[in-house]
């Protein structure tokens, strides 16, 4: 007995109605996202002299980190637009009059949603954390190729070669600093505080494409050390003091945020932390957040068909407006769930599934009303 798995002409027709808006939605949202990042990318090109290849790498990593958000949004809009068009042109009436139920018509879209869910799981669990880490790493390295531009005048700047630095005056043309304060805790057992009247940054060429190195020359200042274990304080005055600073290719110097931790490492950290510990709750919430967002497109099938299917040609809400309201509510619930996890009000798995539960209830009501 053979099982027919080949999609029918009707399935392919419905898929064609959904795939067009889906791919167009992804392209549109990626374009809008990159437009918001245009000034940031231009800064690397103009101030730091980043090459076209480096900018291309940054753009690719940015797009990859944005995809988990773009996929569900584009998919919901695609289902709303596709079935809204079929309903407005009375094609759904013709299909139902020929014996096809709304659930049967949803079969090809459910198949497409499973593909989107699978892709989203890979993105959320592995690819996006990898892209986040590489983007942050590349960002720091490119920013340090012209290190003086990363120091804001009259402001404490962290992440400057793992130093906390303050300069009252910064001359971008000569790379000179005035009234400099530096806190160096790269060696936690022996932190130093350096104060100098003047300073100068000399860039050093590295052997790697994105590696960064510089010599920070300080003049007329002092070094302060405090050994709390021995109860001693040391002050060293200097006429000139040189600090050699370097970031090697492939070295990640920034603090890892939960969304930057890959799946295996995330699970390993969770196993080592108690559910009552704040960090343990935060990491568990991050894991379930990734899963919850990934399975959302499956629920959007029934939500989109319910809102996109109308019985007459009457005026209906636009697909973009419906998607905006749904996604705004989804984001608000997810934010509230994150706060609930951090305050230990709800188990992480339940808190992060609250937006999906709300979507499931709304989708069930709308889909049942559309089954006429």
Stated as kind and residue range, the H or E segment containing 201 is strand 192-203
Give the pLDDT mean for 2-20: 79
Q: What is the pLDDT of residues 294-310, one digit of tens each?
A: 999 999 999 988 887 76
Q: Counting Cβ atoms within 10 Å, is residue 326 exposed (0-12), middle (13-18) or buried (19+)?
A: buried
How far lies 62's CA from each of 125, 138, 254, 274, in Å?
16, 12, 17, 33
pTM: 0.72
Q: How far apart are alpha carbons 69 and 104 in whole angstroms? A: 28
How far apart, in whole angstroms, are the C-alpha atoms of residue 178 and residue 249? 30
Vertex 82: Cα angle to 333 and 296 (nearest 5): 25
The residue among 108, 116, 124, 121 whose CA lies nearest residue 26 is: 116
Q: Domain-by-domain residue ranges, the chain?
A: 9-143+258-370, 162-247
**Residue 276, exposed/middle/buried by CB under 10 A (0-12, 13-18, 19+)?**
exposed
Gap between the Cα atoms of 70 and 62, Å rounded = 12
Residue 27 has pLDDT above 90, yes or no: yes
CB 72 within 8 Å of CB 289: no
Give mean pLDDT, residues 241-268.
74
| Mean per-residue pLDDT of the chain | 83
Confidence of residue 125 (pLDDT cuts 50, 70, 90): very high
């Amino acid at each position: 007995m053979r099982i027919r798995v080949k999609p029918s002409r009707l399935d392919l027709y419905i898929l064609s109605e959904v795939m067009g808006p889906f791919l167009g939605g992804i392209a549109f949202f990626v374009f809008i996202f990159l437009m918001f990042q245009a000034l940031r990318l231009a800064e690397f090109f103009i101030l730091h002299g980043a090459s076209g290849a480096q900018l291309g790498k940054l753009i690719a990593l940015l797009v990859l980190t944005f995809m988990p958000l773009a996929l569900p949004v584009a998919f919901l809009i695609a289902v709303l637009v596709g079935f809204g068009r079929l309903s407005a042109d009375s094609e759904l009436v013709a299909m139902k009059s020929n014996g096809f139920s709304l659930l049967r018509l949803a079969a090809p879209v459910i198949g497409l949603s499973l593909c989107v869910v699978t892709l989203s799981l890979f993105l959320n669990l592995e690819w996006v954390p990898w892209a986040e880490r590489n983007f942050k790493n590349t960002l720091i390295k490119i920013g340090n190729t012209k290190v003086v531009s990363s120091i804001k005048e009259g402001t404490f700047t962290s992440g400057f070669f793992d130093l906390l630095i303050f300069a009252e005056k910064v001359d971008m043309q000569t790379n000179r600093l005035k009234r400099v304060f530096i806190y160096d805790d790269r060696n936690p057992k022996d932190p130093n505080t350096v104060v100098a009247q003047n300073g100068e940054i000399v860039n050093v060429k590295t052997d790697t494409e994105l590696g960064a190195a510089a010599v920070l020359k300080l003049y007329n200042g002092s070094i302060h050390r405090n050994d709390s274990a021995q109860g001693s304080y040391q002050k060293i005055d200097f006429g000139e003091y040189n600090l050699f600073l370097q970031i090697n290719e492939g070295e990640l110097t920034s603090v890892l945020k939960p969304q930057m931790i890959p799946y295996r490492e995330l699970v390993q950290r969770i196993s080592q932390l108690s559910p009552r510990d704040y960090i343990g709750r935060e990491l568990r919430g991050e894991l379930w957040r990734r899963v919850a967002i990934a399975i959302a497109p499956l629920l959007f099938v029934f939500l989109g068909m319910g809102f996109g299917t109308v019985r007459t040609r009457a005026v209906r809400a636009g697909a973009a407006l419906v998607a905006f309201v749904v996604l705004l509510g989804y984001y608000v619930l997810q934010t509230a769930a994150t706060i609930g996890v951090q305050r230990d009000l709800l188990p992480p798995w339940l808190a992060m599934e609250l937006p999906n539960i709300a979507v499931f209830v709304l989708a069930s009501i709308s889909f049942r009303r559309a089954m006429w």
